């Protein structure tokens, strides 16, 4: 599966990307996670030290991936990916190293090219932790044009749900045919109900609900991955997400 994790800032894209990647590894799959945040920190959630996360070299910009391109997928992974302590292979795509270094379009183009390739010789699942917003879907060509499925991350706020609604519109234009709606940071029944109502109102599916978890937040504050023994309610939601993604990718296209 090629999975794009998208949504408004702060809704839990990076956190969910890391938990999803780990859950897929637990199911015996080879997982590549691609951090496209210009301020990358997915590494921390996958057990890398701050230094290792900081020193992960981003993939070259404006690169054509493939046998006839600048680098094959295998070469790219060999040179730029690291195996994290959580068993997920990680690549950084868009780090901004210097102030005034220009826009990140070239990095997006490289990710788009990577996703356009057949990846199954190197990895079973590729998870792209997207930077906030929807620009990557409107950018010419669309970074996620070759994704099989989008995970629309939301928190119980109208702005997050409107972002998801806009994302669906852009995804359709790009020819993406599958998406899964995930409500995160759900504190109680009232928040859950409000989320359900707003999703229905804006025509956004709500397939999975991840509860707000103080344990998960505390692990994040420490800059460490949450243990598999902690917060079973969060892991159960992630398992549901894996099942939904697997089912969606096997299904005919959404209309
Ligand atoms: N289910 C959750 N329960 C508690 N805290 C969460 C949960 N999901 C995310 N967070 C916290 O919310 C903040 C934003 O999450 P993050 O994954 O960095 O969002 P994004 O990548 O979308 O900007 C982080 O501090 C993270 O620890
Ligand atoms: Mg993030």
Q: Where are the domains of the chain?
A: 2-250
Strands 149-154 and 179-186: parallel
Residues 185-220 as b/e (b if ≥16 CB within 10 A, e otherwise) read bbeeeebbebbeebbeebebbbbbbbbbbeebeebb
pLDDT of res. 7:
95
Average pLDDT, the chain: 91
**Cα separation, 145 vs 102, whole angstroms:** 23
Q: Whose CA is nearest to atom 11 of ligand 1?
A: 217
Q: What's the CA-to-centroid distance between 129 and ligand 2, angstroms? A: 7
**Cα separation, 200 vs 10, whole angstroms:** 22
The SS3 of residue 224 is coil
Q: What's the CA-to-centroid distance between 72 and ligand 2, angstroms? A: 27
**Whether the predicted pLDDT of 143 surpasses 70:** yes
**Whether the predicted pLDDT of 253 surpasses 60:** no
pLDDT of res. 100:
61
Q: What's the CA-to-centroid distance between 67 and ligand 2, angstroms? A: 31
Report CA-CA distances (Å) from 164 to 90, 182, 202, 205, 214: 26, 10, 9, 9, 25
Helix (H) or strand (E) holding 248: helix 232-250
**Cα separation, 97 vs 1, whole angstroms:** 30
Two tokens at 167?
């994302």
Two tokens at 134?
């929807």
Average pLDDT, integer, range 18-29: 97
pLDDT of res. 18:
97
* Alpha-carbon 30 to chain mean position: 16
Sort 251 into a burial class: Cβ within 10 Å, 0-12 / 13-18 / 19+.
Answer: exposed
pLDDT class for 136, splitting at 50, 70, 90? Answer: confident
**Whether the predicted pLDDT of 255 surpasses 60:** no
Compute and round to an integer the Cα radius of gyration of the chain.
17
Q: Whose CA is nearest to atom 26 of ligand 1?
A: 217
| Domain 2-250: top CATH class | alpha beta
pLDDT class for 131, splitting at 50, 70, 90? Answer: confident
Q: Which ligand is nearest to the CA of 45?
A: 1
Q: What's the CA-to-centroid distance between 131 and ligand 2, angstroms? A: 6
Average pLDDT, integer, range 111-131: 91
Ligand 1 proximal residues by C-beta, below 6 Å? 7, 9-15, 132, 184-185, 210, 212-213, 216-217, 220
Tens of pLDDT, residue by residue over 149-207, are: 999 999 999 999 999 999 999 999 989 999 999 999 999 999 999 999 999 999 999 99
Q: Whose CA is nearest to atom 23 of ligand 1?
A: 10
Average pLDDT, integer, range 61-67: 89
Average pLDDT, integer, range 133-146: 77
pLDDT of res. 32:
97
Two tokens at 110?
């490289």
**Whether the predicted pLDDT of 74 surpasses 80:** yes
Q: Which ligand is nearest to the CA of 133?
A: 1
Q: Which ligand is nearest to the CA of 18?
A: 1
Q: What's the CA-to-centroid distance between 205 and ligand 2, angstroms? A: 22
What percent of the chain has pLDDT above 90?
Answer: 72
Atom of ligand 1 at shortest distance to CA of 220?
27
Atom of ligand 1 at shortest distance to CA of 234?
1
**What pTM was computed for the model?**
0.94
Q: At what angle do helices 13-26 and 232-250 cross, to 10 degrees?
A: 80
Tens of pLDDT, residue by residue over 86-120, are: 999 999 987 766 556 667 788 888 899 899 988 98
**Whether the predicted pLDDT of 128 surpasses 90:** yes
């Amino acid at each position: 599966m090629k999975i794009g994790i998208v949504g408004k800032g702060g809704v839990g894209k990076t956190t969910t990307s890391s938990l999803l990647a780990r859950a897929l590894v637990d199911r015996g799959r080879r997982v590549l996670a691609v951090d496209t945040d210009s301020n990358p920190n997915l590494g921390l959630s996958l057990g890398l030290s701050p230094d290792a996360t900081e020193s992960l070299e981003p993939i070259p910009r404006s690169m054509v991936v493939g046998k006839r391109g600048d680098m094959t997928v295998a070469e790219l992974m060999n040179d730029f990916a690291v195996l994290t302590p959580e068993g997920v292979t990680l690549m950084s795509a868009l780090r901004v190293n210097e102030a005034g270094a220009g826009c990140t379009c070239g990095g997006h183009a490289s990710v788009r090219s990577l996703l356009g390739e057949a990846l199954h010789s190197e990895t079973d699942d590729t998870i792209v932790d997207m930077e906030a917003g929807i620009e990557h879907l409107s950018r010419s060509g669309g970074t996620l044009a070759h994704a099989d499925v989008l995970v629309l991350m939301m928190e119980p706020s109208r702005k997050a749900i409107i972002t998801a609604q806009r994302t669906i519109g852009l995804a359709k234009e790009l020819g993406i045919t599958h998406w899964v709606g995930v409500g995160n940071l759900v504190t109680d029944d009232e928040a859950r109900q409000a989320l359900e109502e707003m999703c229905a109102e804006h025509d956004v599916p709500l397939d999975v609900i991840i509860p707000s978890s103080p344990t998960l937040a505390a692990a994040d504050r420490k800059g460490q991955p949450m243990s598999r023994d902690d917060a079973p309610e969060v892991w159960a939601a992630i398992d549901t997400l894996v099942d939904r993604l697997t089912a969606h990718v096997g299904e005919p296209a959404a209309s």
